[in-house]
Amino acid sequence: MVKPLETFLVEMDEVTWAVCTSATDYPENWFIEPHSHAKHQLIYAVEGVMVVHSGLHQWTVPPSRGIWMPSGHVHSIRCVGALKMRSVFVRPDQFPQLPDETRAVSISALLSELIKTSVNIAVPVDEDSREARIMRLIVDELTLLPTLPLHLPQPADQRIQAICSALQQDPGDGSTLSDWSDRLDLDAKTIQRLFHKETGMTFGQWRQQARLLLALERIAVGEKIIDVAGALGYDSPSAFTTMFKKQFGTTPSHFFK
């Protein structure tokens, strides 16, 4: 059942415990409006895909992965398919060793089971109880979260924004830098310089990352790899699989296992 966001945030603000967890399920295409929390938050997608925006940044988070959202960072979430979200909230003043940058992260099997168990724990708990030890172990695991390459920086420059928006709407667009130079009446070298300045990537790297993150969304909702590869502009499914493995370290089929 979906809990209204306003009610959920009020409840979170009222919780004064150093660590607490929650479980919320959202329907397909649900959008969580921009908001922030006074606590750090680990947002864990047990099922479904999240597309998370925060400032000039975007992350695509597939099932069994998560995103670390530091306190005070305004963010929104788009649910691709039905989403089973599990969250861990941690008071930053109690755990200053935790990261202060947003990042997509891998969730270990241990942390996954700890989170699933903890959502049924009612606070307050006795300090020497099993429940308290579970919560402390969750914090220990939060300090070890491996970062995943699921980030797509968004440019502030309106000219580069126009290119990025077009590529996300039509990821199969194979237009070259020269083509964009003609459309925007902007030197190709200037476009490449602006891409690097705004995103830290070349034009080709950004387009490749955008395509692969869109592929995660499509495969997660059941599209066939051959169809995804064609829609995203790859010459063949094998070419797509090769690029996917180069970026994520495994094939698309194994990634979702």
Structural domain includes residue 38: yes
Domain span at 190: 154-255
Structural domain includes residue 147: no
**pLDDT averages per 10-residue partition of the chain, 257 residues:** 41 58 95 96 95 95 94 96 95 92 96 95 83 93 94 95 95 93 94 96 96 93 92 93 93 84
Residue 162 burial (CB count, 10 A): 14
Structural domain includes residue 23: yes
Cβ contacts of residue 62 below 8 Å, gap of 6+? 45, 49, 150, 216, 220, 255, 256
Burial 71-83 (b: 16+ CB within 10 A, else e): bebebebbbbbeb
**Residue whose entry in the numeric block shows the structure tokens 């990352």:** 209
CATH of the domain at 204: 1.10.10.60
Domain end call among 82, 115, 142: 142
Q: Do 133 and 158 belong to one domain?
A: no
pLDDT of residue 127: 83
In the chain, the number of structural domains is 2
Residue 94's closest CA among 141, 42, 139? 139
Domain end call among 117, 142, 167: 142
Q: Do 93 and 213 belong to one domain?
A: no
pLDDT of residue 23: 95
Q: Do 107 and 224 belong to one domain?
A: no
Structural domain includes residue 149: no
Domain end call among 142, 173, 204: 142
Cβ contacts of residue 203 below 8 Å, gap of 6+? 163, 177, 180, 191, 192, 195
Q: Do 91 and 160 belong to one domain?
A: no
pLDDT of residue 13: 40
Q: Do 17 and 134 belong to one domain?
A: yes
